[in-house]
């Protein structure tokens, strides 16, 4: 009998699976249970700055996004910090904080 490594079908690592220089953290989002649709909307919004390959919002209203290139991270911070045109309602009247 040949032994093979077993790789389960567990959950992904989320943002932890990406290099730090390719990630951006996002604040000012609503506190709510995880929602796939809101994650998709956040990814679409972040894609304005470059090739966003992953985005999610956790239940405490902190989100994150990962980009293909570190240059896109800097572009996202410059371009989207303070944005209010995202389809996800901000937690308060303050704008979304990207950084």
Determine the angle formed by the axes of helices 70-80 and 36-46, rounding to 10 degrees: 90
Residue 85 lies in a domain: no
**Cα distance between residue 58 and residue 64, in whole Å:** 9
SS (H, E, C) 13-74: CHHHHCCHHHEEEEECCCCCCCCHHHHHHHHHHHCCCCCEEEEEECCCCCEEEEECCHHHHH
Query: In the prediction, which pLDDT does 13 show?
Result: 77
Whether the Cβ atoms of residue 81 and residue 97 lie closer than 8 Å to each other: yes
Query: In the prediction, which pLDDT does 47 show?
Result: 95
Residue 74 lies in a domain: no
Residue 43 lies in a domain: yes
> Can you tell me the mean pLDDT for 58-87?
86
Range of the domain at 21: 17-64
Residue 59 lies in a domain: yes
Query: In the prediction, which pLDDT does 82 show?
Result: 80
Instruction: Render pLDDT for 13-32 as a digit per residue (tens, 0 to 9).
Output: 788 889 999 999 888 888 88
Residue 56 lies in a domain: yes
pLDDT band for position 96 (cuts 50, 70, 90)? low
Instruction: Render pLDDT for 31-53 as a digit per residue (tens, 0 to 9).
Output: 888 889 989 999 999 999 999 99
Residue 89 lies in a domain: no
Residue 30 lies in a domain: yes
Residue 36 lies in a domain: yes
How many structural domains does the chain have? 1
């Amino acid at each position: 009998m040949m032994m093979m490594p077993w790789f389960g079908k567990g959950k992904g690592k989320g943002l932890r699976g990406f290099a730090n220089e390719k990630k951006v953290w996002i604040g000012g989002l609503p506190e709510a249970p995880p929602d796939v649709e809101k994650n998709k909307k956040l990814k679409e919004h972040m894609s304005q700055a470059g090739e966003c390959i992953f985005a999610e919002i956790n239940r405490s209203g902190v989100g994150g996004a990962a980009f293909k290139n570190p240059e896109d991270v800097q572009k996202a911070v410059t371009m989207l910090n303070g944005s209010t045109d995202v389809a996800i309602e901000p937690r308060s009247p303050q704008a979304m904080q990207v950084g």
